[in-house]
Structure 1
Amino acid sequence: MNHLSGKIPPSLTSLNFLSFLNVSYNNLEGPIPKGTQLQSFDVSAFEGNPKLCGAPLRNVCPLMHRNSQDMENEPQLSWVHTSVVLGFIIGLGGFCGPLMLKRCGDAYFQFLNNVQDRLCAMRKVRA
């Protein structure tokens, strides 16, 4: 007994050279991190920790709310990205929507031709 408490750090799963681990009879809690190393150890390496759950133990982890630290590590969709995508979709719909309607499509192409003519004329005046 080492008087360990808290959760098992997920970084232990990256220790591929770890061939033996015994954390039995401590005060560990939460899920055992998923990784090839920790699930390969015998159940006796984790016994005596009643709040510990997950493979290789028979204790199934209850569905818990994710803590704020886990939420911080996940990439989040920002409002800027959302508004850019939404603006692109609305702009594309505003351009392609009238083209799908035959009557409006002809008028729309005529409008774009007029805009192009005006821009070319403005460019020639400046040059």
Structure 2
Amino acid sequence: MPWKFTKECSLKTLNLYANQLTGKIPMSLKHCKRLQVLDLGDNQINGEIPEVIGDLKLLEVLNLSANNLIGEIPLSLSKLTLLESLDLSKNKLIGEIPTKLLSLTFLSVLNFSYNRLEGKIPIGNQFSTFSNDSYKGNIGLCGFPLSKKCDDVEDHLSSGAQRESILSDPGSPFSWKFALVGYGCGAPVGVAIGYILFWRTKRCTEWIEQSFKAKQRQKNEQNRRRRRRRMF
């Protein structure tokens, strides 16, 4: 793409779909702050997705599908909080799908299919509403909604560590709530157990004392009998 966009760029829609464009996405695109639609799909654009696209915060549609884009999905895309449609399919993108993209809560269309992505698909917000068609063709991806499950051990450790982190965080509302619940439930239980142990211990002590006294009386009685026999 040979164009250079200036600071005076006032474009709201840039649709260059299927124009046999080559080269890289120009960094000067960052000047087009008013862009709402950017469609560069079905071309021969190469290189990485530039971080500056994250500066186009009014974008509602971003289509970079069917190109020769490489590299990882930039974290800056999480800044596009008004984005409703994101299509990065049929490229050569690698790495994991950034969990920060969960902040794109207006997404109604999502397509990451036929890349070289890997790792666990983020779960939450809009990502929980998309079908496996959004991710097919990435043999390294796993997790919902794909049938390929991620390592259960890692999931268990991750969730366990997450729960521990939440509970140990002093600022977390869950920490003091769970503490109160634990205290509220634990206190009566503790009292009940203590009560039971107390009475068991007391009964045991009484039984020992009674047994000792009975034995002592038996010995005294035997001694009296022996003395009487000696006397006669």
Which structure would you say has the larger RCO, counting Cα contacts within 8 Å and 6 or more residues apart? 1
TM-score, normalised by the number of residues in structure 1: 0.47
Q: Larger radius of gyration, structure 1 or 2?
A: 2
